[in-house]
């Protein structure tokens, strides 16, 4: 690259779900802060959903970043459905169209963006790994293709080796009970029951399995793969993957731009303000409970958890999204629950999770084990109680509880029971075991913070990625 060459221009497509949007926004800001031009493309539906959650007119999540002179262009593109169309209820129809019709729209958008540019900048494509089309569209438009994987590298390796699982008779897994698998490169011995839900039972949600198979077929053609993880955390998986593809662990991406992360508009739901209430609580005294943006819970699970909270006597912030519940029941709390929790608990539909986790009053996190939530909990040194639902969550749980020992299970059997919930909450908040968990998570907290230091592994990997990318582009 000569001094006079224009800077590279990234066209970026996040996957249209909460857990994938924040890392892509932060990657965008990071690239723009080193002088790249970036065109960031949300679907109109996601744009509309985030707009609704904001109090003022919403021009995209980059207003703050633009104040620093960055060149970020925020665009939207139709996913082919009306805003009212229920994408969760019609999951199969939605995703069938995202395989067949959406890529043509993306292709046209990419072509128009490149053709209307007069700067002479070399363009490249960054898309979420879970999309099925980036490699094809990049090739068609002669672009370098960068995939962003927003889950642990361990799960990438498992997905990458579905053929191995098939050959060994573990996909689908028809055996009874529990079998340990130790043949996946870079993946420590793992039980079949800890596999991602779509591997344990591909027929449960066939479209989900299809999405992952297509995604991992295409990602084999990516030029670069970025991971929202940290070298020191998953060195074996990353080394194994690096033998196949240029692999860069650059996480935790959500804390790249730490000074700004707390107020970037990225939430699909309006954030309730609970910080003043938290500030009135003693350090380490409040349990935070959230099951992320997708998981759905049954009335019976809510009952056991809420009774467990009452029995434990621990204060809490409980996030219950409007679409959290599996059924449409409205009377979801046990009789008298709301009266019992006055002063002791807060139930809100959504919050700014990083602000909550960073508050000293928070002493533990009951989590569904979404990867962002785990990384955020590690970043703030908050030990976890794990209650995974589906997709990547059972496998992430295994990493938290077995590999890193920074969390415990909410229930050890098949059924969630209120007395066990209370017991787990109490031992996580206080006592000997709690101290041990806190020591372990504080070690990892340091690992994560160090990784983003100027000479930390993620910063070095990011710099290396930029250097390698420029060699390809110029």
Least spacing, CB of residue 15 vs ligand UDP, in Å: 10
Question: According to CB under 6 A, which one of 132, 373, 434, 458 is a site residue for ligand UDP?
Answer: 373
- Name the one range near ligand UDP by CB under 6 A: 189-197, 306-314, 329-337, 350-358: 350-358
In sequence order, which residues have a C-beta less than 8 Å from that of residue 24 and are 6 or more positions away?
12, 14, 15, 40, 126, 128, 148, 150
CA gap 119, 250 in Å, rounded = 29
- Applying CB under 6 A, among 181, 240, 286, 294 the residue interacting with ligand UDP is 294
Within residues 376-435, the interface with ligand UDP by CB under 6 A covers: 376
Q: Which of 160/371 has CB closer to ligand UDP?
A: 371
Tell the residue number behind the tokens 């496998």, with chain if given. Answer: 395
352 binds ligand UDP (CB under 6 A): yes
- Strand-pairing partners, residue 362, are 286
Using DSSP's 3-state secondary structure scheme, residue 391 falls into coil
Does the footprint of ligand UDP cover residue 371 (CB under 6 A)? yes
Size, binding site for ligand UDP by CB under 6 A: 20
Using CB under 6 A, which of the segments 33-41, 84-92, 366-374, 427-435 binds ligand UDP?
Answer: 366-374
Q: Are 10 and 32 in contact (CB under 8 A)?
A: no
Q: Which region, judged by CB under 6 A, interacts with ligand UDP, from 69-77, 91-99, 275-283, 367-375? A: 367-375
154 near ligand UDP, judged by CB under 6 A = no
Q: Which stretch binds ligand UDP (CB under 6 A): 4-12, 135-143, 275-283, 349-357?
A: 349-357
Asked if 152 is part of the footprint of ligand UDP (rule: CB under 6 A), the reply reads no
Report the alpha-carbon distance of residue 399 to residue 468 in Å, rounded: 31
Closest by Cα among 272, 288, 286, 276 to 349: 272
Q: How far is the CB of 371 from ligand UDP (least distance, A)?
A: 5
Residue number, 20 or 418, with CB nearest to ligand UDP: 20
| Cβ at position 388, least distance to ligand UDP in Å | 10
| Token pair for 32 | 């723009």
293 binds ligand UDP (CB under 6 A): yes
What is the per-residue binding string for ligand UDP in 1-40, x denoting contact by CB under 6 A? -----------------xx--x------------------
With beta carbons less than 8 A apart as the criterion, state whether 185 and 157 touch: yes
Residue 170 dihedral angles phi and psi, to the nearest 5°: -105, 10
Among 372, 377, 434, 461, binds ligand UDP (CB under 6 A): 372
d(CA 141, CA 298) in angstroms, rounded, equals 46
Helix (H, G, I), strand (E, B) or coil at 205: coil
- Which residues, other chains included, contact 22 with Cβ-Cβ below 8 Å and sequence gap of 6+? 254, 264, 266, 372
For 417, half-sphere exposure in the C-beta direction (CA atoms, 13 angstrom radius) is 7
Question: Cα separation of 78 and 149, whole Å?
Answer: 23
The reply on whether position 267 binds ligand UDP by CB under 6 A is yes
Among residues 346, 350, 462, 465, which is the contact residue for ligand UDP, using CB under 6 A? 350
Cα–Cα dist 192/197, whole Å: 10
Q: State how far the alpha carbon of 351 is from the alpha carbons of 59, 195, 274, in Å.
A: 21, 30, 8
Please say which residue, 131 or 371, places its beta carbon nearer to ligand UDP. Answer: 371
Q: CB of 113: closest distance to ligand UDP in angstroms?
A: 28
Q: Contact between 290 and ligand UDP (CB under 6 A)?
A: yes
**HEC letters along 246-266:** CEEECCCHHHCCHHHHCCCCC
By CB under 6 A, tell whether 137 contacts ligand UDP.
no
Which lies closer to ligand UDP via its Cβ, residue 60 or residue 388?
A: 388
CA-based diameter of the chain, in Å? 71
Residue 228 near ligand UDP by CB under 6 A: no
Q: Give the burial class of 302: count Cβ atoms within 10 A of its Cβ; 0-12 exposed, 13-18 middle, 19 or more buried.
A: buried
Q: Which is nearer to ligand UDP, 50 or 295 (CB)?
A: 295
3-state secondary structure of 406: coil
Closest contact distance (angstroms) between CB of 370 and ligand UDP is 2
Among 292, 308, 388, 407, binds ligand UDP (CB under 6 A): 292
Q: Give yes or no for a contact between 291 and 320, defined as CB atoms under 8 angstroms apart.
A: no
Residue 318 found at the interface with ligand UDP (CB under 6 A): no
Minimum distance from residue 363 beta carbon to ligand UDP (Å): 18
Per CB under 6 A, residues contacting ligand UDP are: 18-19, 22, 267, 290, 292-295, 319, 350-354, 370-373, 376
């Amino acid at each position: 690259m000569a001094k006079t060459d224009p800077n590279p221009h990234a066209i970026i497509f996040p996957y249209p779900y909460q857990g994938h949007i924040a890392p892509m926004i932060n990657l965008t800001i990071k690239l723009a802060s080193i002088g790249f031009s970036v065109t960031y493309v949300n679907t109109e539906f996601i744009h509309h959903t985030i707009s609704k959650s904001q109090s003022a007119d919403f021009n995209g999540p980059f207003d703050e970043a633009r104040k620093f002179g960055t060149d970020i262009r925020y665009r939207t593109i139709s996913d082919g459905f009306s805003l009212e169309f229920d994408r969760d209820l019609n999951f199969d129809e939605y995703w069938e169209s995202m395989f067949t019709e959406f890529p043509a729209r993306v292709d046209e958008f990419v072509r128009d963006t490149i053709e209307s540019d007069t700067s002479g900048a070399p363009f490249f494509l960054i898309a979420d790994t879970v999309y099925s089309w980036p490699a094809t569209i990049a090739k068609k438009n002669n672009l370098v293709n960068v995939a962003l994987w927003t889950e642990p590298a361990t799960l990438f390796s498992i997905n990458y080796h579905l053929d191995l699982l098939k050959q060994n008779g573990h996909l689908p897994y028809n055996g009874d009970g529990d079998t340990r698998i130790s043949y996946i490169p870079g993946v420590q011995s793992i039980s079949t029951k800890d596999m991602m839900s779509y591997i344990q039972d591909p027929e449960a949600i066939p479209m989900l399995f299809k999405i992952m198979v297509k995604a991992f077929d295409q990602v084999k053609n990516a030029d670069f793969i970025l991971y929202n993880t940290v070298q020191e955390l998953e060195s074996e998986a990353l080394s194994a993957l690096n033998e196949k593809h240029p692999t860069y662990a650059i996480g935790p991406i959500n804390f790249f731009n730490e000074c700004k992360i707390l107020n970037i508009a990225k939430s699909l739901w309006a954030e309730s303000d609970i910080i003043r209430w938290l500030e009135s609580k003693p350090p380490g005294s409040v349990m935070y409970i959230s099951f992320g943006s997708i998981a759905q819970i049954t009335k019976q699970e809510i009952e056991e958890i809420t009774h467990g909270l009452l029995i434990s006597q621990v204060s809490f912030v409980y996030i219950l999204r409007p679409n959290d519940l599996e059924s449409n029941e409205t009377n979801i709390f046990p009789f008298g629950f709301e009266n019992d929790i006055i002063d002791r608990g807060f139930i809100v539909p959504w919050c700014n999770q990083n602000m909550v986790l960073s508050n000293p009053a928070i002493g533990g996190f009951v989590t569904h084990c979404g990867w962002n939530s785990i990384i955020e909990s590690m970043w703030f040194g908050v030990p976890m109680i794990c209650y995974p639902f589906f997709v990547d969550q059972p496998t992430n749980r295994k990493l938290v509880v077995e590999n890193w020992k920074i969390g415990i299970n909410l229930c050890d059997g098949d059924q969630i029971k209120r007395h066990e919930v209370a017991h787990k909450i109490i031992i996580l908040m206080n006592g000997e075991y709690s101290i041990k968990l806190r020591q372990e998570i504080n070690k990892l907290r340091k690992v994560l913070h160090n990784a983003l230091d100027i000479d930390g592994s993620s910063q070095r990997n990011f710099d290396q990625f930029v250097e390698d990318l420029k060699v390809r582009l110029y």
